[in-house]
Amino acid sequence: MPSLTLKNIPPAVHLRLKRRAARSRRSLSQEAIACLEHAVLGEPVPVAELLATARRLRRGIRGRIGAAQLEAWIEDGRR
């Protein structure tokens, strides 16, 4: 598999990438690859489509969603 070496990464970019990696439970290298894949291969989602999807999903949820429920859903999605 090809490899890539990046030099002279601005400290602020490096720090944010490290933080993203930690939040995603990925290595720094895995996070960089994910960012590159998204930037190069990702298809932009039209804003109107994204909002319509969010509204449709929101209608299916009754009441308020607490932090504990959100964290549980996030953990379920990681499995």
- What residue segments make up the domains of the chain, in order of their start? 1-79
Query: What pLDDT, in 10s, does the model give residues 48-61?
Result: 999 999 999 888 88
Confidence of residue 20 (pLDDT cuts 50, 70, 90): very high
Residue with tokens 């090809």, as numbered in its chain: 2
| Contact assessment for residue 25 and residue 78, using Cβ atoms and an 8 Å cutoff | yes
Residue with tokens 């298809």, as numbered in its chain: 43
Share of the chain above pLDDT 70, in %: 100
| Contact assessment for residue 21 and residue 28, using Cβ atoms and an 8 Å cutoff | yes
Residue 63 has what pLDDT?
Answer: 81
